[in-house]
Every structure is written in structure tokens, then in C-alpha cells.
């Protein structure tokens, strides 16, 4: 019997798909990328049309052998990797490895992992798309070139071991620029003035509040207490009369179903999930969850990397039927609501939606993890709401003439205004369960031009809070969530408690970015694409360039500011958000086949090299040393205040004769608690980095329910077993620090250890995964492979561990490389992280007693691709 081999990326997805295909099909998983650019200088041949040299990723040899073996038993191979550029690249690399003249190879796409979605994909094969592959190759080469060379520049100008990337550097600039706005903001005083009013004559009616809007026909802005007191005196004895009453019906349109960026924004704001965590949860929902029926896992949502609001006709028909059955026909629009995608949207996939609206979140809650249930419910609610009628309000606005009666009033006349509304028909709000703000709701104005969703603009509730924080003056008037009492034009009003109220306010600076608002800004500026938002945010956080404040807001560290300022002064195009957005559009053109990959890369590289060469001649970026009145404890000389990548420190002015230093921890600008992308191996919650008496350690955010702690990984894979290397500091006085494998107590015990600190930089001579840093009078980088013999001196800054002075002797293209080990599963596609911070990371607080040879507990750190 003929056999068809189907190759997907994820083992979980393979299991779900196998259920639907049955006999005659074998389903294997590639577990992400199988080939990648090696971390060597000659991986990209710039002079030969940027030709790449791809190599099988270390650890993937066994996977490839399994795929080749399975292909020999098959008559046809269907490459069903994810339906995006990265998936296309994986498909191309697999096809190259299993190439056989007799073997029929085709590409298929599964936009939803359901019986219908799998059957549709299998019965609609296509050829491999070389244009999509070229777009991915172009992005990979751009990121490699920029990551290596710009990281070398940052290293030489600022400090040893720092790094930068093509897109995350722009994201960091946005964070720094916003911080500068916050720092430069000068609060301005303003006063809100309102008065309680009611009808002056029977019948008695409810009271309401009128807000002062203008004086003598001009907008009134009260900026100090003196004027506020004078206006208050005018109003306390003034006469009030209804000037105008306006009543109208107001519609609030439903938002479009989720795109990737909108899902990440709402997940940040309402579920407090980071962008990367959101995509990991969504990936599991897409690949399949075992609902204990139909013989195995079921894909619950469509593909989650999309910028399209398009929805299939079948899905629209299904959801309209569910809405009519569940809430009634009055909630179903006459014609389906149609939403327009943004002009730069690739529109390759549908919007994110449930694969079947019949699967209600509550009906499968017991089969889902709590975070899966919350995200699925968010997606389900949004999709159902998108195909419902608008919410309808009765809105009343009343304008009130105010006539002062005292002699010599501050103003001759005033105008007050009151507005209120009441929900007349819930419409789509019926399914939102208390959610008030919705990412992208403002884009839904005119969502259904044929009458399905109305054409009235969406109200500004979604951004009202942010607008008030950033407003340069008094906040815009807000409707009270109630109808005003019936009033007639010309009717007299009387002051009622609380009477005249004057409320002092101060304008607020623009809010700092959090993950959701940064994704929104990236999307607005055209920086990145659905598949890259999460990785951009992740890269910004992984380095010590930003820290998260309470509430999730990003604040750049001093190090982050220095990096951005230096790169901006270097006049590199990559730091211009508009240039980065233009590059994204050109990559889209390569994917569409309208621009050649080589043409894009040549045009970019020529100007980039010119700018880079000029920037190398600039002065170092770090601040000059400052004199202090602090006396050195060792020699009695004065101390100087200096800056290193770990923050400010004091160094003796007699350096190098006196090497005394002192930490200025209060000025270091490092966070006491730092977030990570590492999940707790006991409860699955995110882990954070805390600092204890023995240094940094990973702690579960579920504390005190979960008290799990682990050492912080150094970012270097164990060459023996692939585990993480960790620093182990002995408690015994005089014991020697060493670096061991985190799998020392695993079932297959690993006893690998080093006495010299591993640095996550590949060797430029032999390509070894890391080099080691020696101690002593002359700090050296040496290859971890003894047979190689590579050595390179590190020129130290005064008193600082690891910083390089103005001119680094290291070869930028060869030395500065990504520290991350090859991933076991495919990560979010993004630019490389050329060099992780090489400083040592202490073990967890309360590490076990004993000799230095006893390493700390196992670490299972998630790794990202370079």
C-alpha cells in the first residue's frame, strides 16, 4: 500500500494530525529548524551575492536521520510546516536533506488543526514557494550582519560582551525616547470646576452635575487656585438656565476578530500575559488539546500568527447560527460584518478564531490549563462579538447658560455642559463579560458598510484612561453612565449638593510602554510582523537594557540609554524607525516576488558598511570619570566615580597601583527583581531573577504557593549533555568557584565542569560553541577546545570586570556572536542575539553546603535562536 509521509514541526501537532489522516499516512515532526547558519565568520559570503552556508543544527542529526529513513519508505512527502516564512524555510531545508529523484515532494498548509483543516491542506498541495524562502533568507542574513557588526561596535565603544540587533535596537530606542519624554515632562496645574444642579420648579427630578466648559464664549482653562476661587464665587450665586437639549442614539461597533498584535495587547492588559507567553499558549491551542473525545487532541484555534481580519464564509455562517440560538435573532446583523485589514497586511491567513464556535470555553474548561482557558475564552468572546449587532446607547447632552449675579464678576457669562447615556441594547457587549477596553476597537468604525455592524465611529473609551494621563490640559468630558433627567430648553435650574466643586489637577506625562502598548506602537509604525512581535519584546527584556516596573511598564536602565545614545550618534539607519519599517516592506516585496533578495541585501549593505566605518572613528560612549571626596580604604587616596556595564562604581585614582574598588549599588540602575522567559518546572508559572545573600537566583512567581528556586543559567550549553552551565560558588571559605552542568543530579548524571568562566561567544578559529575567560593579571579569552589554541587578550578598563577601553582588539565579525544554543523546537523568528552578557551568575540563594565539586540543582532554561 502506498505511503504518504507528512512532516510537521511540533510533535504535539503531529499527534493531532495523525488522528485525522489515519492509515496510509505517517506523520513525523522536525522539532523546528533542522539547519541554520553556523556561528562562523564565513557563514555568509558577502562578495558572492550573500550566499549562505547552512549546516545541520547540532543535536538535530538524529531527527534528520529519522526523517530520511521515513522518506525512503514513502512514495510521497507532504511538507506541512507552519504556514509562514519560517515554515517555508524549514520545508526547503528538509526537502534538500531527503532529496530523491523518485520521491514526490509537495508543500501543504494547515491553517487549523481540525479534520476539515487537515483534509483541505492535504487535498490542496502546492510547490515550495521560493520567494517566501528568499524573504526568510534575506531577513536571516540582515539580522546576522547587523547583529555581529553593530554588537562589535557597542562592545568596543561601551563595554565588553554587550550586543545589539537590527529590530530590537529600534524597539529599545522607542522605550528610551518615551522615558526621555517622561523625564522632561513638566506638570501643569489645571482646575476642573463643576456644579450640582436640579430643576428649580416642580415636579422634583433627579440631580445631575454640570461641568464648566467656557466663559464669555471662549474655552475656559483655569490654571491656578486664585482664578478657581474667583470663578467659584461667580457660580455660587449665579442663575442657571437650560440653553439646549440634544438627544440621539449612539452605536458602538464590535471590534474585528483578533490579529496577532491585538491578541497580545489584550492578553497583556487583561490576562497579564507577556507577548511570548501569549504565543506559547496560543501555539498549544492551535496544535491541539486532548478533550477526551474523538480519539485524541483537537485544534481549538486557527493559526495564531496573522495580520488579517478575514474570516472564512463557513466560520461566519457557524457563528451567526450560534449567536441566534444563544442570544436571539435580534443580535445577528442582517448581513455579516466585514472588516478591512490594514494596508500593509500580508493577509496570508484568517484572523485568529475558534476552529468551532460550538466548542464553548466553559464546556472544555476541565481539559485546559487555567492560562489556556483564559486565552481561549478571550479569543472565543472576541470572535463571537465581531459578528453581532452594535451596542446602542441613548445619549443626552445638555448645555446650561450660567449668569453671574454678583457685582463685577470675573466673567460676564459661563456655559456648563452635562452629558449622560444609558445602554439601550447590549448587542456585542453581551459576550464581553465586563471587559471595557478592546485593542483595535477604534479601527472598527464603519466595520460593515452594508449595514451589518453600523457605520458610527467607535467611541474613545478604549483609550480614555491613557488620553487623560497624557493630556496637556483638562481631560475630555466623559459621559455619566446614566440618563439625565427630562429638561426643557429655557427651564430654570437651581444649585443642589454638592454645590460648586473646584478640583485641582496636574497634567501627567505620557505612560511608559508595557508589552501591549509596545506591540501596538511597533504595529502602528510598521516595525516587525506578526511572527516577530513576541521575540522583539523578549530580546529587549533578556538584556540588561530595560527593566520592568511594578505594573509591567518598561523603564530603560542607564546601560540601555548609553547603548541607544551611542547608536543614534553613530547615524546608523537601523536606528531610524521609518527605515526599519521600510525594510519590512521590502522583505514583503521579496516574499511576493517583486524584489530580488540579492538586490535588497546589496543596497542595504553598501550604505551600512559606510556608516559603520565612520562610527568606529567616534569617541567612546561611556561617561568620563568624576572626582569624589571619598577616601580609598586601602591607600588613603581619593576615589573616582566611574561607570561600567554593571553600573556606577568607585575606583582608586592611583589605579593600577591601587586596585581598590567599591560598588555603588544605589546608582547601578539594576532591578531587584527581573522577569525571565523561563517557566517553573513544578507549576509552569514564569520565574523571576531575585538577589539573595549568595547572589542571583531564579524564583517562581507562584511563591508562597510554589517555593521552587533554581540557579540562573549562564547561557552556555553543556558540551557533554546539552544542559545549562551554571556558576557554583562554594560556601567554604577559601573554596574555588567553578562552572558545572545543571544536570549533575539528573537520571543520566553529567559531571562536566570548568574552572574558567565560559563566555557565550563562539570561537572564531574552530567554531566551538563558547570560549572561556581566564583570570590573572592579563584577562584572556581562550577556546574551550584545547586542540584549537585560540587566545585573545582582553584590554580591561580601570577597576572594571570585563569592560574594554576605547579600542577593542577583537575581530568584530568573528568574536561577537550569538550566545544562544540551538533550540530543540522552533522559536519565534527574529534577529540574532550576538552576545549575551558574559559576567558570572551566582547560584540560587541557599545553595547546598559542601565542597565546590557539588553543583547546584538542575536548570531547564528555555533557549531562543540566534
Catalytic residues, which ones? 303
Q: How many Å apart are CA 398 and CA 486, to the nearest integer?
A: 10
- Matching residue, cell 433627579: 206
Q: Find the radius of gyration of the CA atoms of the chain.
A: 31
Q: How many Å apart are CA 575 and CA 579, to the nearest integer?
A: 8
Determine the distance from the C-alpha atom of residue 72 to the mean position of all C-alpha atoms in its chain, rounded to a whole number: 42
Going by C-beta distance under 8 Å and a sequence separation of 6 or more, which residues neighbour residue 590? 131, 134, 135, 138, 596, 597, 600
Q: How many Å apart are CA 784 and CA 801, to the nearest integer?
A: 20
For the record, the C-alpha cell of 481 comes out as 453612565
DSSP string, 142-172: HHHHHHHHHHHHHHHHT-TT----TTHHHHH
For the record, the C-alpha cell of 404 comes out as 453671574
Determine the distance from the C-alpha atom of residue 675 to the mean position of all C-alpha atoms in its chain, rounded to a whole number: 13
Strands 709-710 vs 695-700: parallel, antiparallel or unpaired: antiparallel
For residue 736, what are the CA distances in angstroms to 728, 796, 801? 9, 23, 18
For the record, the C-alpha cell of 129 comes out as 514557494
> CA triplet 43, 48, 53: central angle to 5 degrees?
25
> CA triplet 442, 445, 449: central angle to 5 degrees?
160
CA dihedral 437, 443, 449, 451 (to 10 degrees): 0
For residue 580, what are the CA distances in angstroms to 90, 167, 449, 529, 821? 25, 7, 34, 12, 27
For residue 442, what are the CA distances in angstroms to 437, 519, 669? 10, 16, 37
The DSSP symbol for 735 reads: P
Q: What does the H/E/C string look like for 367-379?
A: HCCHHHHHHHHHH
Yes or no: say if 417 and 479 are a contact pair by the CB < 8 Å rule.
no
Task: Find the DSSP H helices in 503-636.
Answer: 515-525, 533-542, 558-569, 577-592, 597-615
Q: How many Å apart are CA 32 and CA 90, to the nearest integer?
A: 7
Report the SS3 class of residue 234: helix
Percent helix, strand and coil across the chain, each rounded to 5? 30, 20, 45
> CA triplet 772, 558, 156: central angle to 5 degrees?
45
For the record, the C-alpha cell of 620 comes out as 567612546
Yes or no: say if 299 and 288 are a contact pair by the CB < 8 Å rule.
yes
Amino acid at each position: 500500500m502506498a505511503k504518504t509521509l507528512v512532516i510537521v514541526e511540533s510533535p504535539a501537532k503531529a499527534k493531532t494530525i495523525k488522528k485525522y489522516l489515519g492509515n496510509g499516512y505517517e506523520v513525523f515532526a522536525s522539532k523546528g529548524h533542522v539547519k541554520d547558519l553556523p556561528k562562523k565568520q564565513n557563514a555568509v559570503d558577502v562578495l558572492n551575492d550573500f550566499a549562505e552556508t547552512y549546516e545541520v543544527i547540532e543535536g538535530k542529526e538524529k531527527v534528520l536521520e529519522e526523517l530520511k529513513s521515513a522518506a525512503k519508505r514513502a512514495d510521497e512527502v507532504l511538507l506541512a510546516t507552519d504556514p509562514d516564512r519560517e515554515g517555508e524555510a524549514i520545508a526547503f531545508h528538509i526537502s534538500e536533506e531527503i532529496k530523491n529523484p523518485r520521491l514526490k515532494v509537495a508543500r501543504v498548509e494547515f491553517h487549523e488543526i481540525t479534520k476539515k483543516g487537515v483534509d483541505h491542506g492535504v487535498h490542496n498541495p502546492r510547490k515550495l514557494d521560493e520567494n517566501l524562502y528568499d524573504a526568510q533568507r534575506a531577513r536571516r542574513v540582515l539580522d546576522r550582519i547587523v547583529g555581529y557588526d553593530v554588537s562589535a561596535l557597542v562592545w568596543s565603544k561601551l563595554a565588553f560582551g554587550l550586543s545589539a540587533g537590527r529590530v530590537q535596537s529600534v524597539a529599545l530606542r522607542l522605550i528610551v525616547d518615551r522615558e526621555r519624554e517622561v523625564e522632561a515632562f513638566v506638570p501643569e496645574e489645571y482646575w476642573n470646576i463643576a456644579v450640582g444642579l436640579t430643576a428649580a420648579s416642580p415636579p422634583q427630578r433627579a440631580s445631575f452635575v454640570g461641568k464648566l466648559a467656557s466663559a464669555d464664549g471662549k474655552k475656559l482653562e483655569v490654571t491656578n487656585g486664585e482664578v478657581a476661587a474667583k470663578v467659584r464665587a461667580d457660580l455660587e450665586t449665579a442663575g442657571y438656565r437650560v440653553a439646549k437639549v440634544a438627544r440621539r442614539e449612539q452605536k458602538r461597533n464590535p471590534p474585528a476578530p483578533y490579529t496577532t498584535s491585538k491578541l497580545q495587547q489584550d492578553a497583556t492588559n487583561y490576562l497579564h500575559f507577556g507577548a511570548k507567553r501569549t504565543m506559547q499558549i496560543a501555539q498549544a491551542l492551535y496544535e491541539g488539546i486532548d478533550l477526551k473525545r474523538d480519539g485524541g487532541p483537537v485544534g481549538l484555534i486557527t493559526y495564531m500568527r496573522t495580520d488579517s481580519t478575514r474570516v472564512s464564509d463557513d466560520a461566519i455562517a457557524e457563528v451567526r447560527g450560534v449567536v441566534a440560538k444563544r442570544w436571539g435573532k435580534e443580535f445577528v446583523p442582517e448581513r455579516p460584518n466585514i472588516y478591512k485589514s490594514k494596508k500593509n497586511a500580508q493577509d496570508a491567513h484568517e484572523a485568529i478564531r475558534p476552529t468551532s464556535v460550538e466548542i464553548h470555553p466553559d464546556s472544555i474548561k476541565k481539559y485546559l490549563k487555567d492560562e489556556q482557558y483564559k486565552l481561549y475564552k478571550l479569543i472565543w468572546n472576541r470572535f463571537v462579538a465581531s459578528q453581532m449587532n452594535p451596542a446602542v446607547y441613548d445619549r443626552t447632552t445638555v448645555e446650561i447658560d450660567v449668569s453671574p449675579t454678583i457685582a463685577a464678576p470675573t466673567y460676564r457669562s459661563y456655559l456648563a455642559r452635562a452629558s449622560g447615556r444609558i445602554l439601550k441594547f447590549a448587542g456585542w457587549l453581551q459576550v464581553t463579560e465586563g471587559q471595557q477596553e478592546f485593542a483595535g476597537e477604534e479601527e472598527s468604525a464603519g466595520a460593515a458598510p452594508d449595514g451589518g455592524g453600523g457605520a458610527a465611529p467607535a467611541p474613545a473609551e478604549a483609550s480614555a484612561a491613557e488620553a487623560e494621563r497624557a493630556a496637556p490640559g483638562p481631560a475630555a468630558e466623559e459621559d455619566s453612565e446614566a440618563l439625565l433627567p427630562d429638561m426643557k430648553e429655557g427651564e430654570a435650574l437651581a444649585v443642589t449638593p454638592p454645590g460648586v466643586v473646584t478640583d485641582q489637577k496636574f497634567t501627567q506625562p505620557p505612560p511608559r510602554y508595557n508589552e501591549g502598548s509596545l506591540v501596538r506602537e511597533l504595529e502602528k509604525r510598521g516595525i516587525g510582523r506578526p511572527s516577530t512581535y513576541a521575540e522583539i519584546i523578549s530580546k529587549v527584556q533578556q538584556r540588561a537594557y530595560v527593566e520592568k516596573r511594578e505594573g509591567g511598564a518598561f523603564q530603560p536602565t542607564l546601560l540601555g540609554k548609553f547603548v541607544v545614545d551611542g547608536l543614534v550618534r553613530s547615524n546608523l539607519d537601523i536606528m531610524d524607525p521609518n527605515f526599519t519599517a521600510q525594510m519590512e516592506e521590502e522583505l514583503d516585496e521579496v516574499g511576493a516576488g517583486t524584489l530580488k533578495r540579492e538586490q535588497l541585501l546589496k543596497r542595504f549593505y553598501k550604505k551600512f558598511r559606510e556608516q559603520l566605518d565612520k562610527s568606529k572613528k567616534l569617541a567612546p560612549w561611556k561617561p568620563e570619570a568624576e572626582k569624589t571626596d571619598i577616601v580609598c580604604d586601602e591607600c588613603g587616596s581619593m576615589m573616582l566615580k566611574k561607570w561600567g556595564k554593571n553600573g556606577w562604581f568607585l575606583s582608586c585614582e592611583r589605579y593600577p597601583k591601587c586596585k581598590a574598588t567599591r560598588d555603588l549599588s544605589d546608582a547601578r540602575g539594576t532591578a531587584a527583581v527581573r522577569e525571565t522567559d523561563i517557566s517553573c518546572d513544578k507549576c509552569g508559572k514564569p520565574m523571576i531573577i531575585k538577589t539573595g545573600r549568595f547572589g542571583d537566583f531564579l524564583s517562581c512567581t507562584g511563591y508562597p504557593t510554589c517555593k521552587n528556586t533554581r540557579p540562573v543559567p549562564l547561557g552556555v550549553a553543556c558540551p557533554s549533555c546539552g544542559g545549562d552551565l551554571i556558576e557554583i560558588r562554594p560556601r567554604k571559605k577559601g573554596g574555588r568557584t567553578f562552572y558545572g552542568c545543571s544536570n549533575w543530579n539528573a537520571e543520566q548524571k553529567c559531571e562536566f565542569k570548568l574552572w574558567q568562566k565560559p563566555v557565550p561567544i563562539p570561537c572564531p578559529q574552530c567554531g566551538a560553541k563558547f570560549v572561556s575567560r581566564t583570570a590573572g593579571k592579563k584577562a584572556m579569552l581562550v577556546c574551550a577546545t584545547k586542540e584549537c589554541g585560540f587566545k585573545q587578550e582582553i584590554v580591561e578598563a580601570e577597576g572594571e570586570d570585563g569592560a574594554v577601553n576605547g579600542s577593542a582588539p577583537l575581530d568584530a565579525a568573528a568574536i561577537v556572536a550569538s550566545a544562544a544554543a540551538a533550540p530543540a523546537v522552533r522559536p519565534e523568528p527574529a534577529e540574532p542575539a550576538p552576545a549575551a552578557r558574559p559576567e558570572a551568575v551566582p547560584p540560587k540563594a541557599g545553595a547546598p553546603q559542601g565542597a565546590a565539586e557539588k553543583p547546584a540543582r538542575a536548570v531547564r532554561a528555555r533557549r531562543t535562536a540566534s
